[in-house]
Structure 1
Amino acid sequence: MGFLPNNRKEKRAKNTPIASIIILATICIYIVSCSSVPKEIAIAGIFDHFEKTPQVILRSGDIFLRDIAASLDDSTIEALEAIASDKPNESEEMKEPSKPIDRAKIDKLLTRAQVAGIGISLTDKGQPALEAVFAGNFPDLLTSLSFSLDSNWKKINGGYALKSGSLYVRNPDRGQVHLATWMPPVSPLTNPGATALATKSGVLANAVDFAIYIDAKSTIVSQLPIMEGVTLPFEGILMSATREATSPPKGSPSAMYRTIFKIQMKDEQGARTYKPIVRFLWVMLSSKLGSYGIPITPETPIEQQGSVFVSQPVWISAQQLVDVALSISSFNN
């Protein structure tokens, strides 16, 4: 009497890999869904977790971050390497030899962020110190894993350290990636001064895609190349830029930005009193900006509006804005 072959075990064996894949996929989807943070939560209070009060503050929206990613070339990569490079510090452990910055990781950071806040301050030795928060599509677990699995980074208390430079990432939290050129504090630390300056300066305005504010009362001003030799009782300088609608829809170094400069005085009376000196300041500032290839000259009009001097709009490319921002960040002439 013949028997039909029993294929149940064989079928189960064949189905096991498929079942495993389905289970793993389900787990991954669950992890991502649990780790993802709503955009509104991620970008809210972009400066709230800053540990230092910056003296120069920058804010960028998502479209300018895409333009930055498209603008990266050898010179901008070298500038980023210089900012994150080692500085003599006998108290730190010996770091590994310098390695090229991972271009793919930079691109991913810039293209997944919805907004970025950057601050520049000074160390006790008078060197520039940078702090930045990128907020957007950064699930906490997956972002932590990306740093843990990257051989260029090592795990430390409170986050991760770049092996070949003075750059540290705090443990990702609520869709934000928080970097600084100093080690994470022993316990979480926040400084309300960053948010206060951001609110006062105007960099949080929704209508602009990119803004830089230089706090004139800070000690950093005299060390900025564009402010060399200038002494004036003003509050600060704001550069705000809005992307032109006719620019390419995707990130592009040639995207054009309608840019306005504002010199904020303490009050309207001070603005009237120092008007001739402000115009001289504008000549120096516009000349320096012109050296970056920006189409601006000392003849570009700047008008007093109450306590603020406002320039006529100038159109600047994304690449030029990146060059200016990197120059300010690294204190290069």
Structure 2
Amino acid sequence: MNHRSNLNPLHTSLSFSSAAYPSPSSKMTSKSFRHSMQIYAIYGMDEWQTLLFLLFHAVVFSFLSALLLLYFTPFSVLLHSYIFPSLPAPFSRFIAGFLGSLTAISAVCLYFASANIFHSAVSLHWDMAQRMLASVTDWSTVRTALDVGCGRGILLNSVALMLKKQGSSGRVVGLDRRRKTTLATLRTAAIEGVQEYVTCREGDPRRLPFSDSYFDVVVSGVYLHTVGKEYGHRSAAAAAERGKVLGEVVRVLKPGGVGVVWDLVCVPEYVERLRELRMEEIRVSERVTAYMVSSQIVSFRKPREGTVGVEALDWRGSIC
């Protein structure tokens, strides 16, 4: 029997809509700015090594550009005397000016990259989490939710806060590969006052430790692109590993359940996989710059037809 023939082609339609994902800037007020500062205080950031690396080099390049500006004439003479003695003096001045401009531009770019990473790590992450929550039309019916790659818990706690707001008795499970991270996540949940709604587990997203059709909602924020990076980010093997995670997400979703993924660069790849898995209501947000690259949210619904689980299993096995 051909299971695909039983599925309505409209179920796999793809739409690009910004209406379903309100813009992060649409509600920016002084109150939300103060709240952002509170978010930084609670969650900190995982990318602090990268931030310090960029800031260190930004300061170094700023110092070099200032030296070249202050000692432009002596440096030009030095270039002309020892490096380019056979060339006209204006050429040495041009080289000195070019090097000074290059170091100054490099410093500006490094400061900009540092600011973008600092913003993306927490403030933008929180804003995008709120947009992801808007993809689920009725949280009052949600009893079980999963956050794949929960990190410090920004998205996880956002889900928990939504459950608390709805007066739900449901719970959200955060999955991460590192036990140290899950312990830190539980601490942030306690600070947010949602510890009774949150459970954390250590595990591999390519083999989720949950039974089939267990969760009403599965979310993931800026995580899936890290799966399979040991094979090279753009390699077919890495794409296959990310495909396994999507297959697992579909497997643990209940029929009619909703999946929402925010990630960098790879979202078009996820859309193709979700089409192969015959998901319904696939929606993709507009592009948002995060960590200096393009990011998007993709949401989908698992069909209620029982044949989808078979197709998902067949597809998962074909890439192993």
Structure 2 length-normalised TM: 0.28
Structure 1 length-normalised TM: 0.27
Please state which structure has a larger fraction of its residues in helix: 2
Please state which structure has a larger fraction of its residues in strand: 1
